[in-house]
Amino acid sequence: MKNFLQLKLLIISLIGPLILLFVFNANAQQITQPNIILITADDLGFDDLSIHGNPVIETPNLDALAKRSVQFSDYNVSPVCATTRAALLTGRHYYKTGVSGVHGGRDYLSLDETLISNVLQENGYATGTWGKWHIGKTAGYLPQDRGFDESYYAQLYVHENSYGYINQQKVEHDDWVSSVVTDYAIDFIDRQKNNKPFFAYLSYLAPHEPWVAPKKYVDKYKAKGQRDAIANLYGMIEEMDHHIGRLINHIDQQGLADNTIIIFMSDNGPWFGSSNYGAMHQHEWEQRNPNNWHGMKGRNWQNGVKSPLFIRYGDHYQPRTIAPFTFVTDIMPYLLEVTNIQLNKNHKPIDGESFKRALEGDTTYARQKPVLIGSHDVISHKALFNQWTPFDDVAKNALDYNSQMLALRDDRYKLILNPVKDESHYPDATEQYVLFDMKTDPQETKNLFLAKPTLAAIMLTKMQTAYQDVFNDADSFKTPMYQISGDISAFNAFGPASTQGNVKSQAHLLGGFKQAGDSATYDLQINEAGIYDLWLNKQDHYGSGFEVKISVANKPYTTTLNEHALQKLAQIPLPQGAVTLKFEVTQNTAMTTWMTLNNLRRFYLIKQGTNKKPSDLSLPN
């Protein structure tokens, strides 16, 4: 026994240091995996920073970040927020992810898409996001379902006294949303910095309307001679800048700077006016755009799609400004390359191209493939449709290339189809097109379509090819597949898979029901068979007297709408699996036959015997 113990001690003495060396090396490898902080602003224009020439706005922290970063002078995004976020987090063209608009069900990222958060989480990263989400509002589509360990889904657009949702539980804050987002992120970083590499996605709501900011910032800009609306707008930007400065200072003070990639960008260009304060005056718009970019949010001109992009990575990159054209889809492949993560073979094709070489100083880098940029007004030109219409077969078959508002960018040139001429000095279109050399004419002042016919023909062919690639893709424009699980679930009335008759989608309501046959259908994934109570939530009491039929699993259920905003419609047995639910008006017996049902908001499915009620479920609007 004594000899055995001596042998055991000898073995431990020999292999102990090896075990310690292995553990040390494993920890060292983990520590060297870079942390990632991705910061997005909402409706921030390229010129909304003092470093880019704005004569009034003060952004000292973002200016300082820019000076320590690689700055991109030709980084482009989508013209609106939800589509940019879909492309940012998947590396794929936003239409292919199912996201083609900002509301009405067209802002749901398909469930078969893989996000950068999923990939990083599967490769050992702690992941968190706080702020604006806007790529899915119901179960299955929320950030905690899409690869984020922690999340705060901030309610749009509540800037003061922010409230939001953590795992579908409403959380209220007596604070401004930019402060709340930053506090969550700093707390997350402090808890993860010694455990795992982290991915922190801060999605600020500023300066999206309504324009409102803390008094000390507003008073500062009023003292500079700005009227209330603009003082609030500029105050929002400076307040966000302050909190971003807090975050970056914390990273530096914690000794994390050299191993942390910080990315800052906006989701689209600036918006002209605010619903709370009225449109900007022309001189204010010119003040906000000192570089004279054409367009605004929602447009394919530069001011709709040009975004700041700053990337800081300790001493790994030399601070400077680089000129190659890059697109929002390129962020994900860059992060994959810099973290040395390989996608699995079943991953959907990435449309983005990594620009890591350019960051490291390769001046020959150029993006290889052109990018199709589509406005959120796709198909809205049709009298039958609007920008919230679901892309069912009817809508897809009605698509007409010549009527779309599109842009195509390659590494040098930009072609726009059907440009919106917001101001008289914008160049006129030739045969519906404008063509620009973005290296020599970044302000888009000289239309080359007639002057360079060969180039115009090449770009036109590229645009048509890219259009066919995106619009004919099997994944493009998918409508939501609502997930029904647990005791209570919900699906949005304003996000149907298709509509029939007079029915019209709106941003947050479904309406247009007038007569028999007007209907909407919804795709549902029932995760547990059972008997469910179906409830309808209307925005208000209107609609009393409409007879409706619910059809699901080949069975009809009829009822009459009453004056209550919340009403139980039917008791329905649902099988497990995919089902289609149809809501159809069978007769308008309202007090006035001309009445239109315009106020459908949300449906609830509650499993029988659970004693749940619709108010038990917290969901963002």
The structure tokens 């920008």 sit at 387
Structure confidence at residue 377 (pLDDT): 60
Q: Does residue 89 fall inside a structural domain? A: yes
Q: Are residues 108 and 65 in the same domain?
A: yes
CATH number at residue 528: 2.60.120.260
Give me the mean pLDDT over the 521-528 stretch.
Answer: 97
> What kind and span of H or E run contains 593?
none
- CATH number of domain containing 441: 3.30.1120.10
Same domain, 435 and 494: no
Find the domain containing 399 and state its range: 373-471
Least confident of 4-8, 217-221, 427-431, 598-602: 4-8
Look at residue 283 and tell me whether its pLDDT is greater than 60: yes
Cα separation of 97 and 86, whole Å? 7
Residues whose CB is less than 8 angstroms from the CB of residue 493 and which lie 6 or more positions away in sequence, other chains included: 509, 510, 520, 536, 537, 583, 600, 601, 602, 603
Do residues 117 and 170 share a domain?
yes
155-209 tens-digit pLDDT: 999 999 999 999 889 999 999 999 999 999 999 999 999 999 999 999 999 999 9
Neighbour-count burial for 126-148, b at 16+ CB within 10 Å, e otherwise: bbbbbbbbbbbbbbbbbbbebbb
Q: The domain spanning residue 235 has which CATH number?
A: 3.40.720.10
Same domain, 420 and 314: no
Phi then psi for 104, rounded to 5 degrees? Answer: 65, 25
User: Tens digits of per-residue pLDDT, 353-366?
Assistant: 999 999 999 999 99
What are the C-alpha distances in Å from 555 to residues 550, 552, 571?
Answer: 8, 5, 11
In a domain, 182, yes or no: yes
pLDDT digit string (tens) for 538-553?
A: 999 888 999 999 999 8
Domain count, the chain: 4
pLDDT at position 385: 67
| Two tokens, residue 107 | 């802002």
Q: What is the DSSP string of 37-76?
A: EEEEESS--TTSSGGGT-SS---HHHHHHHHTSEEESSEE
Residue 57 lies in a domain: yes
pTM across the whole model: 0.93
Q: Is the dihedral of CA 605, 611, 169, 198 positive or negative?
A: negative
Say whether both 194 and 214 belong to one domain: yes
Task: Note whether 49 and 26 are same-domain residues.
Answer: no
Residue 377, both tokens: 């007004």
**Is 311 inside a domain boundary?**
yes
Q: How far from 263 is each of 37, 64, 250, CA to CA, in Å?
A: 6, 13, 16
331 within a domain of the structure (yes/no):
yes
The pLDDT value recorded for residue 172 is 97
SS (H, E, C) 439-495: CCCCCCCCCCCCCCHHHHHHHHHHHHHHHHHHHCCCCCCCCCEEEECCCEEEEECCC
Q: Where is the domain boundary, 320, 349, 367?
A: 367
Q: Are residues 95 and 210 in the same domain?
A: yes
Among 418, 438, 471, identify where a domain stops: 471
| End residue of a domain, out of 438, 471, 504 | 471
Mean pLDDT in residue range 576-592: 89
Task: Indicate if 412 and 359 belong to the same structural domain.
Answer: no
Query: Do 173 and 273 sit in the same domain of this protein?
Result: yes
In this structure, is residue 476 part of a structural domain? no
pLDDT of residue 273 exceeding 90 = no
Q: Are residues 421 and 493 located together in one domain of the fold?
A: no
Sheet holding 326-327, edge to edge: 306-307, 75-76, 326-327
Q: Note whether residue 621 is domain-resident.
A: no
Cβ proximity of 544 and 571 under 8 Å? no
Looking at the structure, tell me whether residues 235 and 191 fall in a common domain. Answer: yes
Which tens digits make up the pLDDT trace of 31-72?
479 999 999 999 999 999 999 999 999 999 999 999 999 999
Instruction: Answer yes or no: is 92 within a domain.
Output: yes
Output 311 or 23, whichever has higher pLDDT: 311
Are 14 and 42 members of one domain? Answer: no
Query: Is the predicted pLDDT of residue 23 greater than 60, yes or no?
Result: no
